[in-house]
Amino acid sequence: VQGADEVTVILSDKRKFKAKVVGTDPETALAAVQVDAHDLVPATLGNSDDVEVGDWVLALGSPFGLKETVTAGIISATGRGNVGIAVYEDFLQTDAAINPGNSGGPLVNLRGEVIGINTAIASRSGGNMGVGFAIPSNMAKRIMEQLMHEGHVDRGYLGVYLQPLTEELARSFGVDPNTKGALIGDVIPGSPAEAAGLKAGDIITRFDGRPVDSADALRHAVANTKAGSKVKVEFLRKGRSQDVFVTLGHRSEASVASSTPQSRRDQAVVEAKLGIAVAALTRERAKSLGYPENTHGVVVTRVTPGGLAQVADIRAGDIIVAVGDTPVDSVESFRQAIEKQDLAKGVRLQLLRDQIRRFVFVQAR
């Protein structure tokens, strides 16, 4: 309905109604529309949390204008994210044929219950290749209820930048490499997370009593929790379990150098080891990169192709602020910190990129 001047709903019995857009949620690509009609039989919503891989499903829609088309398949995967369709993605994946024109149609189980809303396909040809995605019915129901009652979706806001917890990063923080959780790369100043005492490097393992398996899982859990809610957050800090209570904010409000001879030698040592060149982060350089003048660290000026740093996704312009748990504020302190590390075992670096702190793990292989 985005950009539409008028919305028309056509029923299977050929009746047509002008529809009113009650509300939209671009972050999940969903909308609620209302029609003034009688003698309608509502579809039964199923519980998408009960869906399992291998379940048989039917996809209904009007592919290529062919109305009331039904195709069959199975659930190929659940909890599919990082597809690039919407901000919040927790799709059901199916191999039931979905083509242009299927979007918005129901995905139903063999009991006729709607368990998803067909949304998109992954395709190199533009047609069905057996990889289709549907928004789970439980997510759609939550969005629908908020749109109907509030006219918009109110999501909780924690105020952290999250990143996946890899085995290497887990080991570097002194926790079991098989630990499940979400790693905090940075905490936004003035956020609920900062007020509660959460810090960069904390690994969140449970949110409001529910286990956190990944950064995406935590992102969805926070978004699905009402703003203003006080929730318990359990996390690991330096290998030790801790917990805090956080009062979530409103996401909508939140959205809204020259080198000396010695430094050149230091740089040569670092470049040989890591495959990067670094320079002092002067006030002028920090300001030119868009950071406060009192930002501490060293700036990456060059990355050697194929070197350890490039493999770890370190980029020119990144600001390295810590080696392991040791803050760095000069080329010399950075060099000393690196020389104390065993690159065969690996070293964790904390970076600033695009105003956001993040961690990378560098290891000689």
What pLDDT, in 10s, does the model give residues 329-356?
888 889 888 888 888 888 999 999 988 9
Is 325 in a helix, a strand, or coil? coil
Q: Decide if 229 contacts 247 (C-beta within 8 A).
A: yes
Q: What is the pLDDT of residue 261?
A: 37
The neighbouring-strand residues paired with 94 are 75, 132
**What is the distance between the alpha carbons of residues 235 and 46, in angstroms, rounded to a whole number?**
34
- CB atoms under 10 Å from CB of 173, counted, come to 20
pLDDT digits (tens, 9 = 90+) for 129-157: 788 899 999 999 999 998 998 888 888 99
Identify the segments of the chain with pLDDT beneath 70.
Answer: 82-85, 122-128, 252-272, 365
Contacts of 7 by beta carbon, 8 Å cutoff, 6+ apart: 1, 18, 19, 20, 21, 33
Token pair for 258: 């020259």
Give the amino acid at 139.
M
Hey, what domains does the chain have and what are their CATH numbers?
Answer: 7-150 (2.40.10.10), 156-254 (2.30.42.10), 261-362 (2.30.42.10)
Q: What is the pLDDT of residue 39?
A: 86
The neighbouring-strand residues paired with 123 are none
| Residue 262 exposed, middle or buried by CB count within 10 Å (0-12, 13-18, 19+) | exposed
Q: What is the largest CA-CA distance in the chain?
A: 85
Mean residue pLDDT of the chain comes to 86
Q: What is the pLDDT of residue 190?
A: 86
